[in-house]
Amino acid sequence: SRLPALLQAMPKAELHMHIEGSLEPELIFALAQRNGVQLAYDSVEALRAAYAFTDLQSFLDIYYAGASVLLHEQDFYDMARAYLDRAVADNVVHAEIFFDPQTHTERGVGMETVINGLYRACRDAQIEQGISASLILSFLRHLSEESAMQTLEAALPLRDRFIGVGLDSSELGNPPEKFARVFARCKELGLRLVAHAGEEGPPAYIWGALDTLQVERIDHGVQSEKDERLMQRLVREQVPLTVCPLSNLKLCVVKDLAEHNLPRLLAAGLKVMINSDDPAYFGGYVNENYTQLFAATGMGAPEAYQLARNSLEASFADDAQKAEWI
């Protein structure tokens, strides 16, 4: 079959990936050494062996521990350049990259250290490799709304270096309504709005993200199938869902990729596309997500084209840029 070659070659956007989730074990160890940070594992192999997750929280515990090696602007730069190199190899022409500032500021790392390192990596990759890349500041939903508001205020001097805000971390028990005021403030500021919803959480969290937070895209959203009225709305309003198949498999949201509902969501007319979420932890970058899902489900070239088109259309790139791609 020529399908793997098509999936590799087609230009695509990646709209749902966490830059801290692109830290490969080798880079975690290199940065730990460079910065004199002590890790709880004594080898790359031992760390990788710990990547056996049972749910979202079991992953988040290891993901936040891995991020503890990031201290200096150059660390954030090196991490993002490594991801952008891999994205270019997968024919990603545009990436919208989540970063979790609270994971770093809570350890005493400066907001400007985080944002400037990531921003400089995006700018250099654009100049040297032609990929366009933007940053989305994501609030940690297990922390308070007050902490999110303080994080926003700390980032505002660097407002021109990120395009929007998101909401991630532990979903169950942290509904979108908890962040109503901070999202309203972000909307006033003209920031683009997205939120994780319906990864493990119920359809009610997707309704809340749309109606209370007024987000423009839903990250994951795979639980929407449980609510027929929600499905109709997502089709009618063409709300993009940034789906992450290998993430759903590794975090036991689905038992088997063959049972993943992306083909059904796509066939029902939802604006879905494929993303990697945390590629260093879940077994592959974006093209690996495409090839494994296609191999497991029997989707073909028409679905491939539609998914790539959806990824470009659902991006926050400007219309002139989209017209060049689509």
Q: Identify what 169 binds: ligand ADE, Zn ion, none; CB under 5 to 8 Å per kind.
A: ligand ADE
Q: Identify what 199 binds: ligand ADE, Zn ion, none; CB under 5 to 8 Å per kind.
A: ligand ADE
259 is catalytic: no
Residue 78 makes contact with Zn ion by CB under 5 A: no
Residue 223 CA, distance from chain mean position: 17
E-only strand ranges, the chain: 12-18, 92-99, 132-140, 164-168, 192-197, 217-220, 240-243, 271-274
Residue 236 CB, nearest approach to ligand ADE (Å): 26
Length of the chain (residues): 326
Is 72 annotated in a binding site? The answer is no
Burial label, 322 (beta-carbon count in 10 A; 0-12, 13-18, 19+):
middle
Binds Zn ion by CB under 5 A, chosen from 20, 73, 277, 303: 277
Identify any residues that bridge with 132 across adjacent strands, giving them in sequence order: 94
Nearest residue to 66 via CA among 123, 115, 104 = 104
Secondary structure string (H, E, C) spanning 255-307: CCHHHCCHHHHHHCCCEEEECCECHHHHCCCHHHHHHHHHHHHCCCHHHHHHH
Tell me how far apart the alpha carbons of residues 219 and 240 are, in angstroms, rounded to a whole number.
8
Binding mask 35-74 for ligand ADE (x = CB under 6 A): ---------------------x------x-----------
Closest residue by beta carbon to ligand ADE: 168
Residue 286 makes contact with ligand ADE by CB under 6 A: no
Nearest residue to 278 via CA among 114, 129, 99 = 99
Cβ atoms of residues 125 and 45 within 8 Å: no
The owner of tokens 């509904």 is 175
10 vs 210, which CB is nearer to ligand ADE?
210
Binds ligand ADE by CB under 6 A, chosen from 161, 199, 257, 276: 199
Residue 96 makes contact with ligand ADE by CB under 6 A: no
Residue 168 makes contact with ligand ADE by CB under 6 A: yes
Binds ligand ADE by CB under 6 A, chosen from 247, 261, 275, 311: 247
90 vs 277, which CB is nearer to Zn ion?
277
Residue 196 makes contact with ligand ADE by CB under 6 A: yes
Residues that constitute the known binding site for substrate: 278
Binding residues for ligand ADE, rule: CB under 6 A, are: 18, 21, 56, 63, 168-169, 196, 199, 247, 277-278
